[in-house]
C-alpha cells in the first residue's frame, strides 16, 4: 500500500518535472526558467564575493539580501565596493550576457543558421562604430551612445542580410562571409575614428572594444537591464513564429506567419539588445553562439523555451566569465571579451566542422 503510493507519487513528480519529454509546455518552460533564475541570483550573490578585495562572505550575503539596508558588519569601504562597484558591474554583465545570447538565439532561428551571432555577423562592430562616433563627436550627451549604437547595429544587420541573399537564397556560409566583410570594413572605420582620439583615451578604448564591463555608467546599466528584459519578452512572444521560420521562410509563410513583419521585429529588437550592450561594454564576442548552442543541446530547439532560457544562461555565462576576467590576474584585469572568445572560438570551429 505504502509502496504503491510512493510509486504513484514518484510518477506524479515525474509527470510534473518531465524535463526530458519531447514536447515543450508552458509548465515546463516556467519550471526551467524558474530554476535558471534562481541559479542566476545565486551566481550573482556568489560572484560578488570574489575580487581583488576579499569580502567576508556571511556579512556580504546578509547585506545583499537586505538590499544594503542593514550593514551586517561590513565596513563603509566594503559596503561601497559591494554596492557601488561590484554589484553594478555584475548586473551589467547579466544584462549584456542576456541581451547577446537572446539576440543570437533569435538570429539563428530567423536566419536558419546555427552560426549566426551578433559579433561574428559584424553587428556588434556596427554598434561599436556608432558608439565611437557618439563618443568622439557628441561626448557630452550620454544618450547619444546607445542611440547611435542601436542605429549602427541596425544598419549592419540590414547590410549583412542583403549581402547574404544570393540568387539561390542565403546559405550559412554566405552569411558568415557577409559578416566577415562587414566586420573588416567596420574595423577599419573603427581604426580611423580611433586616430581622431587623444592618446590617453586610446588604451581604455581598445580595452572597451574587446568587451569590458568596467567602464559603464549607472544610466547605461539601467538602460541595458531594461532593454535586456523587455527585449527577451518581445522575442519570446514571437517564439512560435521563429519555430516555423527555423524550418524555412516559405514554409512559415504557408503556415500563416507574417514573415516580413516578424523579421523586422527581430532585427529591430536584436539591434536594440546588441546596441545597448555594446554602448555600455563594447563587443563581447561569442556569447550569442555558445549559450544558445548549449541551451538547445539540453532543452531542444523550441524557441518558446530556448529564447528565455538563453537569456538567463547568457547572463550567468557573462557574469562568471567577467568574474574570471577580473580575478585571474588581479589586481590587473582582462577584458571579459577575451574570456568569452577563448571559450567561444573553439566551439565555433567545432560547429563549422560538424556541418
Separation CA 205–CA 199 (nearest Å): 10
286 and 304 Cβ atoms separated by less than 8 Å: no
Which one of residues 204, 230, 254, 352 is an interface residue with other proteins (CB under 8 A)? Answer: 254
Separation CA 342–CA 294 (nearest Å): 16
289 and 102 Cβ atoms separated by less than 8 Å: no
166 in helix, strand or coil?
A: strand
Which one of residues 36, 64, 92, 112 is an interface residue with other proteins (CB under 8 A)? Answer: 112
| DSSP secondary structure of 54-68 | ---HHHHHHHHHTTT
Output DSSP code: residue 69.
Answer: S
Question: Residue 226 is placed in which grid cell?
Answer: 531594461
245 and 109 Cβ atoms separated by less than 8 Å: yes
Which one of residues 125, 216, 241, 271 is an interface residue with other proteins (CB under 8 A)? Answer: 241
Question: Residue 346 is placed in which grid cell?
Answer: 573553439
**What distance lies between CA 139 and its chain's CA centroid?**
26
Q: Which region, judged by CB under 8 A, interacts with other proteins, from 35-43, 119-127, 185-193, 244-252?
A: 244-252
Residue (of 183, 185, 163, 186) closest to 173 by Cα position = 163
Please tell me whether residue 175 binds other proteins under the rule CB under 8 A. Answer: no
Shortest spacing between CB 258 and other proteins, in angstroms:
5
Which one of residues 1, 4, 5, 26 is an interface residue with other proteins (CB under 8 A)? Answer: 26
Shortest spacing between CB 353 and other proteins, in angstroms:
15
Please tell me whether residue 257 binds other proteins under the rule CB under 8 A. Answer: yes
Separation CA 101–CA 60 (nearest Å): 29
Shortest spacing between CB 53 and other proteins, in angstroms:
44
Residue among 112 and 145 whose Cβ is closer to other proteins: 112
Please tell me whether residue 251 binds other proteins under the rule CB under 8 A. Answer: yes
Binding mask of the shown chain, residues 279 to 308, with x at each position contacting other proteins by CB under 8 A: -----------------x---xxx-x----
Shortest spacing between CB 109 and other proteins, in angstroms:
8
Separation CA 37–CA 44 (nearest Å): 10
Separation CA 118–CA 325 (nearest Å): 21
Shortest spacing between CB 21 and other proteins, in angstroms:
8
Shortest spacing between CB 275 and other proteins, in angstroms:
25
The neighbour count for residue 12, using CB atoms within 10 Å, is 10
Please tell me whether residue 173 binds other proteins under the rule CB under 8 A. Answer: no
Q: Which residues contact 291 (CB under 8 A, 6 or more apart)?
A: 97, 100, 101, 104, 105, 310, 313, 314, 317
Residue among 105 and 270 whose Cβ is closer to other proteins: 105
Shortest spacing between CB 237 and other proteins, in angstroms:
6
Separation CA 127–CA 277 (nearest Å): 9
Which one of residues 25, 52, 75, 298 is an interface residue with other proteins (CB under 8 A)? Answer: 25
Q: Which region, judged by CB under 8 A, interacts with other proteins, from 54-62, 208-216, 242-250, 309-317?
A: 242-250
Please tell me whether residue 258 binds other proteins under the rule CB under 8 A. Answer: yes
Please tell me whether residue 15 binds other proteins under the rule CB under 8 A. Answer: no
Which one of residues 11, 42, 255, 328 is an interface residue with other proteins (CB under 8 A)? Answer: 255
Q: Which region, judged by CB under 8 A, interacts with other proteins, from 36-44, 78-86, 123-131, 243-251?
A: 243-251
In the complex, the residues that contact other proteins under the rule CB under 8 A are: 22-26, 109, 112-114, 172, 236-241, 243-244, 246-248, 250-251, 253-258, 296, 300-302, 304
Amino acid at each position: 500500500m505504502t509502496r504503491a503510493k510512493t510509486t504513484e507519487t514518484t510518477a506524479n513528480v515525474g509527470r510534473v518535472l518531465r524535463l526530458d519529454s519531447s514536447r515543450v509546455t508552458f509548465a515546463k518552460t516556467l519550471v526551467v526558467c524558474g530554476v535558471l533564475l534562481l541559479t542566476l541570483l545565486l551566481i550573482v550573490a556568489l560572484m560578488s564575493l570574489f575580487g581583488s578585495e576579499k569580502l567576508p562572505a556571511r556579512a556580504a550575503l546578509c547585506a545583499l539580501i537586505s538590499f544594503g539596508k542593514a550593514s551586517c558588519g561590513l565596513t563603509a569601504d566594503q559596503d561601497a565596493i559591494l554596492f557601488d562597484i561590484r554589484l553594478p558591474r555584475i548586473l551589467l554583465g547579466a544584462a549584456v550576457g542576456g541581451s547577446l545570447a537572446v539576440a543570437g538565439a533569435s538570429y539563428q532561428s530567423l536566419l536558419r543558421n546555427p552560426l549566426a551571432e551578433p559579433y561574428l555577423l559584424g553587428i556588434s562592430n556596427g554598434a561599436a562604430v556608432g558608439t565611437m562616433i557618439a563618443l568622439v563627436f557628441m561626448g557630452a550627451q550620454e544618450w547619444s551612445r546607445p542611440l547611435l549604437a542601436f542605429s549602427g547595429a541596425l544598419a549592419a544587420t540590414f547590410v549583412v542580410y542583403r549581402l547574404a541573399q544570393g540568387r539561390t537564397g542565403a546559405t550559412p556560409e554566405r552569411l558568415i562571409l557577409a559578416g566577415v566583410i562587414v566586420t573588416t570594413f567596420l574595423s577599419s572605420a573603427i581604426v580611423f575614428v580611433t586616430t581622431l582620439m587623444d592618446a590617453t583615451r586610446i588604451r581604455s578604448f581598445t580595452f572597451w572594444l574587446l568587451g569590458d564591463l568596467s567602464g559603464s555608467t549607472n544610466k547605461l546599466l539601467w538602460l541595458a537591464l531594461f532593454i535586456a528584459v523587455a527585449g527577451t519578452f518581445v522575442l519570446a512572444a514571437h517564439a512560435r513564429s521563429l519555430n516555423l521560420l527555423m524550418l524555412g521562410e516559405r514554409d512559415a509563410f504557408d503556415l500563416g506567419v507574417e514573415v516580413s513583419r516578424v523579421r523586422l521585429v527581430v532585427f529591430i529588437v536584436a539591434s536594440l539588445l546588441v546596441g545597448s550592450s555594446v554602448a555600455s561594454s563594447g563587443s563581447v564576442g561569442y556569447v550569442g553562439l555558445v549559450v544558445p548552442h548549449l541551451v538547445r543541446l539540453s532543452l531542444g530547439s523550441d524557441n518558446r523555451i530556448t529564447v528565455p532560457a538563453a537569456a538567463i544562461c547568457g547572463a550567468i555565462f557573462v557574469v562568471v566569465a567577467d568574474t574570471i576576467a577580473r580575478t585571474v590576474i588581479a589586481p590587473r584585469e582582462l577584458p571579459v571579451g577575451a574570456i568569452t572568445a577563448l571559450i567561444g572560438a573553439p566551439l565555433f570551429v567545432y560547429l563549422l566542422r560538424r556541418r
